[in-house]
Structure 1
Amino acid sequence: MYSLKNKVAVVTGGSEGIGRALVDVLLQYGARVATCGRNYDKLYELQKRHSGKPLMIHTADVSNEQDCQHFISQVIKTYGTIDVLINNAGISMRAQVMDTELETLRRVMDINFWGTVCCTKFALPYIIKNKGTIVGMSSVAGYRGLPGRSGYSASKFAVNGWLESLRTELLDSGVNVMWVCPGFTTSNIRNAALNKDALPTGESKMDEGKLMTAEECATYIMKAIEKRKRTMVLTSTGKQTVFINRFFPSLADKLVRKFYYKNGNLVK
């Protein structure tokens, strides 16, 4: 098992949802934690809640390369190194391809893919030195393209492929690279999902009360980090989707279509 006690763990997008839950559990595990987000007030509230604990907060937009570089630099100034990087910051979208402005796709890709690439690139020398862990927050949408989420699916496929390349390059280094797919989890990602015009939709089409909680998800991710797993897909629905799509892709097309559409309209 990989002990996290006194390790330096970095979580992007830690102001809410799964990211905030990861910050909570990492501090419980005895790690020294750094997190970033775009909303300073939410970060400040998180820091106040963990008063007296080793938590560094930093305002940053991971779609901006300079913000990523400055964030990682501040982590090094504060803690001197990095052992674990969890690329959690992300955004979704909800619009069909024929209606979607290209800016929506660019914005999703900039945050989900380039945010992961930039933060990992700047943190990599320290993680290699410590034989640490790099985590990418992927999705079932990274294994199976989902309707209304073309840009989101593309970004998660890209994250999976990029991290798999990196994992292979680092096989002999002692670094563990993994990507996790939370499945449908209670978070703000659906409310913040972009519409066709790259603006937040401000609503969720899912029954959030029936989804896995962010706290449960964070606990599973921490166990996967400790065991230095390669990949992890959560929820029975997520696992079934990946399995059916791999072995019965035509059936997956029909099942996914049925789940997201009603009377020819995208309803989820």
Structure 2
Amino acid sequence: MSVFQNKIVVITGGSDGIGKALVDAFLSLGAKVATCGRNYDKLYQLQAAHPGKPLVIHAADVSKEQECALFIEKVIKNFSTIDILINNAGVSMRALLQDVELDALRKVMDINFWGTVYCTKFALPYITANKGTIVGVSSIAGFRGLPGRSGYSASKFAVNGWLEAIRTELLDSGVNVMWVCPGFTASNIRIAALNSKGESHGETPMDEGKMMTSEACAQHIITSIEKRKRTLVLTATGKRTVFMNKFFPSLADKLTRNYFYKNGELVK
């Protein structure tokens, strides 16, 4: 029997990518799952793909405090408690600082950072009572600032620091706090990434076929939750980037610049 059998797992941003893969995987392991997203049609399709399974869906924008509160209230109404919260909802960006409108940066921070704060705050009493787990799906960009992703990097640095702080606060409570930093993972995050005006690009500059799949990423996350790890850094490139940035930061600057730029222009 799975250790997640009948556990109450809450996943934000569960209609696409890593979030959807997590929903699928936890349901297959016998967990009871609640998820939210901004697109109700995608959530409905997700629920229709799991007939008879204990899956609660809720349309919510995690950048809005009240919508997060209502989502957690719905979870408690249906399942009474929460064992695991995975803050997965997020948005990326692709624009240079000289071009980006400040509202686009605020939007990224509101979704990635404040969405994590809101949902964790409202779920905390239940997770604490169960000595459960809080997870933040962050990014390698939370360890290494990436050009064209200044707002995204800032939001993920903030998520990592905030989770580290509350992990320390909760050390004696029995609650495990973990932040997950995938490398490039095949999902819709680059397609949905915001441009300089805060609108979706609608395309990706990367070769998605060469990246880790969302399903593989989800399995790594689930294994790490079971082992109650502190951090999870994924992909060889991701691990190499974190290592290089820690011990050889100036070289990492040059290598990162060379990867994202061609002939002086941002191409990735």
Normalised by the shorter chain, which TM-score bucket?
A: over 0.9
Amino acid at match of 1:117: V
- Alpha-carbon shift at residue 4 of structure 1 (Å): 1.2
- Superposed displacement of residue 239, structure 1: 0.2
1:150 and 1:6 mapped to 2: Cα distance? Answer: 40
Aligned-residue offset at 1:154: 0.1
Whether 1:79 and 2:79 are equivalent positions in the alignment is yes
Q: Distance in 2 between matches of 1:210 and 1:38?
A: 28
Identity %: 72
1:29-108 matched pairs, under 5 angstroms: 29-108=29-108
Matched, 1:170 2:167: no
Shift, 1:182, TM fit: 1.2
Q: Deviations over 1:82-107 (max 9, x none)?
A: 00000000000000111110011000
Whether 1:13 aligns to 2:51 is no
- Distance in 1 (CA, whole Å) between partners of 2:51 and 2:3 is 23
Aligned residue in 1 for 2:205: 205
Shift of 1:3: 2.0
Structure 2 distance, partners of 1:220, 1:165, is 24
- Where structure 2 has 5 or more consecutive residues not aligned to the other structure, the ranges are none
1:28: Cα distance to partner? 1.1
What secondary structure, in the 3-state scheme, does the structure 1 residue paired with 2:193 have?
coil
SS, match of residue 117 in structure 1: helix
CA distance in 2, matches of 1:155, 1:147: 14
Task: Work out the CA distance in 1 between the residues paired with 2:14 and 2:75.
Answer: 14
Task: Note the C-alpha offset of 1:5.
Answer: 1.1
2:241 pairs with 1:258: no
Q: Which amino acid aligns with 2:156?
A: K
Kindly state the Cα deviation for residue 220 of structure 1 after the two structures are TM-superposed. 0.4
Query: What's the counterpart of residue 230 of structure 1?
Result: 230
The secondary structure found in structure 1 opposite 2:33 is: strand
Deviation of 1:29 after TM superposition, in Å, equals 1.2
Aligned equivalents of 1:32 and 1:68: distance in 2?
19
CA–CA distance in structure 2, aligned partners of residues 45 and 18 of structure 1: 16
Whether 1:4 and 2:4 are equivalent positions in the alignment is: yes
Deviation at 1:243, TM superposition (A): 0.2
**Shift of residue 80 of structure 1?**
0.1
Q: Which amino acid aligns with 1:127?
A: I
Question: Within 1, Cα distance between the matches of 2:200 and 2:46?
Answer: 23
Distance, in Å, in 1 between the alignment partners of 2:170 and 2:138 is 20
Matched residue, 1:130: 130
SS at match of 2:192: coil
Counterpart-to-counterpart distance in 2, 1:43 and 1:173 = 34
SS at match of 1:99: coil
Equivalenced residue count is: 267
Q: TM-score, normalised by structure 1?
A: 0.99
| In structure 2, C-alpha distance between the alignment counterparts of 1:258 and 1:109, rounded to whole Å | 27
Post-superposition CA distance 1:35-91 (Å, at most 9, x none)? 000000100000010010000000000000000000000000000000000000000
Equivalent position amino acid for 1:163 in 2: L
* Moved segments of 4+, more than 6 Å: none
Structure 1: which 5+ runs fail to align?
A: none
CA distance in 1, matches of 2:29, 2:231: 21
